[in-house]
Amino acid sequence: MGILEKISEIEKEISRTQKNKATEYHLGLLKAKLAKYRAQLLEPSKSAGPKGEGFDVMKSGDARVALIGFPSVGKSTFLSLMTSTESEAASYEFTTLTCIPGVIEYKGANIQLLDLPGIIEGAAQGKGRGRQVIAVARTADVVIMMLDATKGEVQRELLEKELESVGIRLNRTKPNIYFKPKKGGGLSYNSTVPLTQCSEKLVQLILHEYKIFNAEVLFREDCTPDEFIDVIVGNRVYMPCLYVYNKVDQISIEEVDRLARRPHSVVISCGMKLNLDYLLETLWEYLALICIYTKKRGERPNFGEAIIMRRGASVEHVCHRIHRTLASQFKYALVWGTSTKYSPQRVGLTHVMEHEDVIQVVKK
């Protein structure tokens, strides 16, 4: 019995089983087995086959955004509109066969946009180059899920299911669970909040499935068994996702309004070039990038070239970005902008910068 058959057997068993107090241990065990088999499925086979054409693209720019969607939803058209790269677009499915990179220049930042081949149902099992597509998506900072507005919710649910099964968690934060395997001493189980979904017996059963008998587990929030399994496996990727509904010029205005009000959703039309500027604004928010300008002593700030950093970057990060030896020679910095109480404020290395701050570094 192959891994795929085992996975489908367990999925059928889970859908057959009623969810109640009596079956929660059984379901927890099944979910742990399912996660284990899926992890085996993603591991590359030991016997290396013939070397194929490279698929991943070298990371460049300040951030990376992956375009994921079913064939013929307008990914290539979107890439051609947003960047100077031309990606072949036609009215038949699977026009794009490899990963095509483009660069969006926005607010002084270079954002790498990857046009990936269309995903089909069963991609997680390797159908239609699905595994390579999903592997590239794991390396992105934000996923843009392109959906056809005329097809309703079906596409979104299928894609979420595919990404979920390979360990990509969209718009979710990492579960606040402390987990540490130990050499001996049995299972130490504690929680700082009342737990309604995971009991000690269930945690023990799931750990036994992974052949872990000695561990320290501390729940800091009320988590589901699935989230606990994610923590044990440890290779899950938590990333923000923007649901972009394309072809909105083909549906009614009420439907457009309904889709636009959904969380993490943006409606656009690549054919009529509608709402693309709002999509870029939202993407900038999701990427959490900030621009920082530098200033030399006695001169005006250089607003032509910005240093692009992640939100939450400190003065030390900025120093490293300017030159690797600057932080060791750092005396103090003068900062103008919203992160200070008054301008200019004299700050140290730990000061957190904000968007469009101006910095002048003084060396020893």
Do 76 and 179 belong to one domain?
no
326/337 Cα distance (integer angstroms) = 22
Last residue of a domain, which of 264, 286, 308? 286
Number of CB atoms found within 10 A of residue 174's CB = 12
Please tell me which residue, 294 or 134, carries the higher pLDDT value. 294
pLDDT in tens, 212-231: 888 888 888 888 888 888 88
273 and 331 in a single domain? The answer is: no
Same domain, 78 and 156: yes
pLDDT at 192: 87
For position 116, which CATH number holds?
A: 3.40.50.300
Q: How many domains does the chain have?
A: 3
CATH of the domain at 358: 3.10.20.30
Judgement on whether residues 258 and 188 belong to the same structural domain of the protein: no
Judgement on whether residues 204 and 124 belong to the same structural domain of the protein: no
Report the range of poorest mean pLDDT among 121-125, 296-300, 318-322. 121-125
How far is 68 from 122, CA to CA, in rounded Å? 14
Q: What are the φ and ψ backbone dihedral angles of 266, each rounded to 5 degrees? A: -135, 140
When the pLDDT of each residue in the chain is averaged and rounded to a whole number, the result is: 80
In a domain, 312, yes or no: yes
The region, left, alpha or beta by phi > 0 then psi within -120 to 50, assigned to residue 108 is left
Do 342 and 216 have their domain in common?
no
* Res. 203 pLDDT band, cuts 50 70 90: confident
pLDDT at 130 over 80: no
Are 111 and 220 part of one and the same domain? no
Q: 217: alpha, beta or left, given left = phi > 0 and alpha = psi -120 to 50? A: beta
Token pair belonging to 255: 């439907």
120 and 203 belong to one structural domain:
no
- Most confident range (mean pLDDT) of 115-129, 215-229, 267-281, 345-359 is 345-359
Same domain, 73 and 129: yes
The residue with greater pLDDT, 45 or 182, is: 182
pLDDT in tens, 42-99: 665 554 444 545 566 777 778 888 888 877 777 777 777 777 766 666 555 555 566 7
Does residue 9 share a domain with residue 24? yes
Q: CA-to-CA distance for 250 and 198, rounded, in angstroms?
A: 46
Within a domain: 56? no
Q: How does pLDDT run across 306-356, given as a tens digit for each residue?
A: 888 888 888 888 888 888 888 888 888 899 988 889 888 898 888 998 888
pLDDT tens-digit readout, 253-268: 888 888 888 888 888 8
Q: Are residues 14 and 155 in the same domain?
A: no
Q: Specify if 261 maps to a domain.
A: yes
The Cβ of residue 268 has, within 10 Å, a number of other Cβ atoms equal to: 24
The strand pair at 345-347 and 330-336 is best described as antiparallel
In the listed set 233, 250, 275, which residue is the last one of a domain according to the structure?
Answer: 233
Q: Which residue has the higher pLDDT, 13 or 89?
A: 13
Query: Hunting for tokens 């095509």 — which residue is that?
Result: 100
* Predicted pLDDT of residue 47: 47
pLDDT at 131 over 80: no
- Model confidence at 251: pLDDT above 50: yes
Asked if 100 and 79 touch (Cβ cutoff 8 Å), the reply is yes
CA distance 228 to 217: 10
Task: Work out the pLDDT band at 12, boundaries 50, 70, 90.
Answer: confident
Structural domain that includes position 105:
63-87+96-171+237-286
Asked if residue 229 belongs to a domain, the reply is yes
Question: Of the ranges 81-85, 90-94, 153-157, 170-174, which one carries the lowest mean pLDDT score?
Answer: 90-94
Res 289 pLDDT > 70 = yes
Give a yes or no: residue 55 inside a domain. Answer: no
